[in-house]
Amino acid sequence: MAALTSLSFSAVTHCSERKVTLSSTRFLASSSELFGFRTDFSYHYVGVRASNSASKMVVQCMSSATDVPPTVSETKLNFLKAYKRPIPSIYNTVLQELIVQQHLMKYKRSYRYDPVFALGFVTIYDKLMEGYPSDEDRDAIFQAYIKALKEDPEQYRIDARKLEEWARVQSPTSLVEFSSKEGEAERILKDIAERAGGKGEFSYSRFFAVGLFRLVELANATEPTILDKLCAALNINKRSVDRDLDVYRILLSKLVQAKELLKEYIDREKKKRDERVEPQKANEAITTCLGQQLHGL
């Protein structure tokens, strides 16, 4: 992925000041195309009855107040409160889509955090923010994003790192035969397989698919059938994984294009500024020289 490490934050934000925007419809596909997570929620029953003593309707929610999740707007507002600095539109467009979709996943009844999901999100986030002008800001945005969803950003990073370290020392065979081994990572995968097999709550997502792919990638499993076998061992629908990985690749490709265009624009603007500065410096030098000569007369 193209990196923009040589660009300053002010140079990137200069684009928005000049009202030069990167169209999300041109470089980043729409939310339905790139972030089409399934949102088949289970809603609480809501009963409505008419009050005889008043003309208004009284709505009775059958669940307790503690069961009511925050709205998408509240989650987005929490993110904006936690990170108040401007984010260049090329990154912010995708971040806003991601946080909306992750909010919808988080508050499904079947949602349960797991480290493979965390690995998938961390992988997507790091790819998205690759080349961000400031490492400190990139980490601060990550913290604000996860906390806005009322989860622990440190847990995401720690769990993702542990799975990455485990996968790096696996062979393709040992990766898919996790059920016959003992260890922390193996227990995590066994738990997922059990829940996905119908013995507990499991909510498949695109982040999970990317996490699986990352495990296969780190184990240097180049044989296409390894992903098939891993999905089968985990009781995951391989067709869903294939579809979501295709979307992930499209996202990465479009991000590369957008970042390259942004870099070209900034380089072009810098060149224009330099060209304007040179004549100005020459005029100042001539004026100074003439002033000195006139002063000597």
pLDDT digits (tens, 9 = 90+) for 73-90: 999 999 999 999 999 888
Q: How many CA atoms lie within 13 A of 287 on its CB side?
A: 6
DSSP 8-state assignment for residue 67: G
* Measured distance CA(95)–CA(82) in Å, rounded: 14
pLDDT, tens only, 249-272? 998 888 888 888 877 877 888 788
Q: Is the pLDDT of residue 294 over 80?
A: no
CB atoms within 10 A of CB 22: 19
Q: What is the pLDDT of residues 96-121, one digit of tens each?
A: 999 999 999 999 988 999 999 999 99
In the chain, the DSSP E strands lie at: 46-50, 57-61
Q: Which of 246, 88, 115, 123 shows the shortest CA–CA distance to 186?
A: 115
Residues 184, 162: contact at Cβ < 8 Å?
yes
**How far is 292 from 275, CA to CA, in rounded Å?**
27
CB 148 within 8 Å of CB 76: yes
